[in-house]
Copies of this chain bind each other. A is one copy, B any other.
Amino acid sequence: MGGLIWKVYMSGEIHGDWRQRISGGVAAAGLPVELFSPVTVHGDSDDCGAAIFGPEENSFWHDHKGASLNSMRASTLIAAADIIVVRFGEKYKQWNAAFDAGYAAALGKPMITLHTSELDHALKEVDAVASAVAREPRQVVQALAYVIRGDMPAGGSDALAGE
């Protein structure tokens, strides 16, 4: 079977260890996957624009300069991705994550969302265009393993998920 390397962009919540868990699971399973992310250092993603191009008195433009750099990264990597995973957490508005989900959907990218059931109702339109709704990073890895290589999860599937 062919040698495609699948590109997966992991959008959304920049706290918690969900990206590491997916990354670990992908490595443990030996999947032909390249993982991409936004810049996940919160302060840097806020201040990058001003740090590089100079300070702004008005916080709106301070934010604007940083956000424009973040958008360069996100739009390029989403367009290059085969699959997008979007994580929504309990805290914060996370409009960014939903924006990325819409962006990916308009480009026809298959999407897996990752969130607890408490958020199901608020995310119903996002989930309606997703191909799968995962509760745990382990399930994202299992879904990638199936989609890419046809692997079914082992009993308990702990080995596969690298946890």
A30 at the interface (CB under 8 A from B): no
How many angstroms from the CA of A101 to the CA of B139 in the assembled complex? 28
For the complex formed by this chain, how many copies does it contain in all? 8
Tell me which residues from 117 to 142 in chain A have a Cβ below 8 Å from any Cβ of chain B.
Answer: 117, 119-129, 131-135, 139, 142
Q: Contacts A76-B83, A105-B99, A143-B69 given; indicate if A53 touches B126 (C-beta within 8 A).
A: no
User: Size range of the interface on A?
Assistant: 35 or more
What 0/1 pattern do residues 52 to 63 of A give for CB contact below 8 A with B?
A: 110011111101
Residue of B nearest to A96 (CB): B125
Contact surface of A with B, Cβ cutoff 8 Å: 1-4, 6-7, 34-37, 39-41, 44, 46-49, 51-53, 56-61, 63-77, 80, 82-83, 88, 92-108, 110, 117, 119-129, 131-135, 139, 142-143, 146-148, 150, 152-153
